[in-house]
Amino acid sequence: MKIGNVQKTSALILGIVLLVIGLWGLFAQTIIWFGVNILQSVLHLIAAGFGIWQGTKGDGKLYNMIIGWIGVALGVLGFVPGVKDWFLSLLNINMATTWLHLVIGVVFLGIGYGVKSK
């Protein structure tokens, strides 16, 4: 990995963060004030593996764009009545987590589409 490659570095950092959150979430129902559960933790671990792989072996851009779109979709859907209740019951996604998904989505779309790969 070249130093200065924002696409790869951001994918790797988010992958590592998701790995920690995924492992932590296997043993907790909340992390700080963010809701988690086993299913959500498994999804975080899958995303972590892909992010770490993209940050070390890939170019990171595809990961950043995919995570960005997933984050925005989860964030927007988290405000829809009925859907937000379903997210809460299935994945323990509360409003704090919805906002976090939205912010991560916007940031990673910006990185994915706005930063040139080296």
Q: Per the domain annotation, does 88 fall within a domain?
A: yes
Q: Which residue range(s) make up the domain with 30?
A: 6-113
pLDDT by residue (tens digit) across 2-14?
446 999 999 999 9
Mean pLDDT of the chain: 92
What are 69-93's pLDDT values in tens digits?
A: 999 999 999 999 999 999 988 888 9
Of residues 1 and 88, more confidence is placed in 88
Q: What is the mean pLDDT of residues 19-30?
A: 92
Give the least confident one: 10-14, 22-26, 29-33, 93-97: 29-33
Q: Is residue 29 part of a domain?
A: yes
Overall domain count for the chain: 1
Cβ-Cβ contacts under 8 Å for 73 (sequence gap 6 or more): 105
Has residue 76 been placed in a domain?
A: yes
Per-position b or e across 70-105, b if 16+ CB within 10 A of its CB: bbbebbebbeeeeebeebbeebbbbeebbebbbebb
Residue 118 forms part of a structural domain? no
First to last CA, the chain: 10
| Residue 25 placed within a domain | yes
Q: Which of 27-36, 90-99, 100-109 has the highest average model confidence (pLDDT)?
A: 100-109
